Amino acid sequence: MQKVTYSERLLRGGLGVIAWQRLCRFRKAAEEIRAQLHTARCSTLLDIGAADGIGLPFLKPLAKRVVSVNYYENHTREFRAAYPNEEVVTADVRSLSFEDGEFDIVVSFETLHFLPSWEDRAQAMKEISRVLRKNGLCVFSVAIETGYPAIMKYFARALTGNNLHGMTLRLAFLHWLGPPERIEMLDKGKQVGFNVRRFVRQAGDIFEIVKTRSIPLPIVCPMNLLVVARKRK
């Protein structure tokens, strides 16, 4: 029986809608990075939470050297099988082994909201800042789980067989209509309870926020938030 890869699990869905929504984060991030770069390519880029390299085709043209990081060893094995000549390591974003200022750009897509607490997320962002060079660029993509997207996501996950991560229809309505303080009490390091507004404020304590952008489509389909930031001088 052939094993289903991370990308295949992530992109499954009818009519290509799920694939379009998932891949949009990489396309839009690449656009924002190109807009910020003063050269055609930077020297070094770090991708945190790379999985099996699903975003690598979008990131590879942006840098001469791309290093990928996974928390799970099975994702690293899938990455090596797909891209045997690319750099990938298994590591914890809260404690990276790279040198201070080693990277020009750090990206992380749909990863940081899975850390179990706001303290862990702050530590991760401090580590990202440490390995970034002076005035280096970081781009995060995190889930939008408040407002009506919570309802949209609940039905999308339920209909496509994706893991609901503890989300129920009742909780989806609470995320839509309930106060953020009450929602955040549910935060256990999954989508459920994640307060994207607090995340942006937290990132702003460490980085200079350049831009935030709802993707794939603002207002109509704001599934994720892209945060473009720079390391403070």
* Complete DSSP assignment for 84-117: TTSEEEE-BTTB--SPTT-EEEEEEES-GGGSSS
Residue 14 has pLDDT above 70, yes or no: no
CA distance 72 to 35: 32
Q: How confident is the model at residue 1 (pLDDT cuts 50, 70, 90)?
A: very low
CA distance 130 to 91: 15
Instruction: Kindly report, residue by residue over 46-87, the tens digit of the pLDDT.
Output: 999 999 999 999 999 999 999 999 999 999 999 999 999 999
Residue 151 vs residue 19, higher pLDDT: 151
Q: Are the CB atoms for 91 and 114 separated by under 8 Å?
A: no
- In the chain, residues under CATH classification 3.40.50.150 are 6-145+194-231
The whole-number pLDDT of residue 52 equals: 94
Strand partners, 132: 103
CA distance 171 to 58: 35
Phi, psi at 173, each rounded to 5°: -65, -35
Residue 216 has pLDDT above 80, yes or no: yes
Residue 195 has pLDDT above 90, yes or no: no
The whole-number pLDDT of residue 174 equals: 83
CA distance 70 to 88: 8
103-109 and 207-217 beta bridge pairing: unpaired
- The beta-carbon contacts of 208-213 under 8 Å, at least 24 apart in sequence, are 208/232, 210/36, 211/32, 213/28, 213/32
CA distance 187 to 124: 17
Mean pLDDT of 147-168: 77
Mean pLDDT of 195-218: 94
Q: How confident is the model at residue 19 (pLDDT cuts 50, 70, 90)?
A: confident
Instruction: Kindly report, residue by residue over 103-135, the tens digit of the pLDDT.
Output: 999 999 999 999 999 999 999 999 999 999 999
Helix H segments across the chain? 6-11, 17-36, 56-59, 73-82, 118-131, 149-160, 169-177, 180-184, 196-204
Its CATH architecture, for the domain 6-145+194-231, is: 3-Layer(aba) Sandwich (3.40)
Query: HSE of 179 in the Cβ direction (CA atoms, 13 Å)?
Result: 2
